[in-house]
Structure 1
């Protein structure tokens, strides 16, 4: 699988998210407590932008009248119809066995190693002919 640099860690601070496009695919990148996760930015229900959804958590109860709020900021709610997805896995809380948002592996890599490769930026030759700039494809 090819890797694509989509931004600097300082551009996606803890608790935030950003929308990137990789090879024409919209991908929402989330930073949860210093860990980064990627979800396809389309709810599988009707295509709402998950990057624009509210971040929430889960309510857990061990007995009646006692509850706690857990996993704060780890669940994204589709802004169109409220379907909820686990940002870490893409699993749906509507129907976890059948419905999920596609997730993509995301990693943080040292910039010095990226400079050394094996990642290569695509370049195209450019030359000046008289007063015109020409790009060859």
Structure 2
């Protein structure tokens, strides 16, 4: 899988998300507590943009009236029909063995690492003849 630079890590703050287009695909990158995750920005149900959905956690209750919320900020809810997906894995909350959103690996690289190499601009001699610039190839 080819690597693509999509933006600066600081542009996607904690608890935030940002959509990028990579080779014609809409990809949404999430920052969950300083860790970055990327999903295809399409719900597998009817292709709604997941990036427009509510970021939430999981509400559970052992008994009526005693609700606990866990994994806050780790789930995205489809804005159309409420399907929920784990931002970290792309797995559906309701049927994780069968339904998922395409997940893409995300890494952070220092700017110096991205441009490291023996890059040298090719140069050509230039001269001026009767006020015209002439480049010799």
TM-score if structure 1 supplies the norm length?
0.81
Whichever of the two has the greater Rg, that structure is 2
Aligned to 2:104: 104
Q: CA deviation at 1:117?
A: 5.1
Q: Which runs of 4+ in 1 moved over 2 A?
A: 60-67
Q: CA deviation at 1:63?
A: 5.3
Aligned to 2:116: 116
Q: CA deviation at 1:32?
A: 0.6
CA-to-aligned-CA distance 1:77-101 (integer Å, 9 cap, x gap): 0001000000000010121111001
Aligned to 1:7: 7
Aligned to 2:132: none
**1:66 is aligned to 2:60:** no
> 1:12 & 1:90 partners in 2: Cα distance?
19
Aligned to 1:28: 28
Structure 2 residue runs without a partner (length 5+): 119-137
Aligned to 1:127: none
Root-mean-square deviation (CA, aligned residues, Å) is 1.6
TM-score if structure 2 supplies the norm length?
0.81
Structure 1 residue runs without a partner (length 5+): 119-137
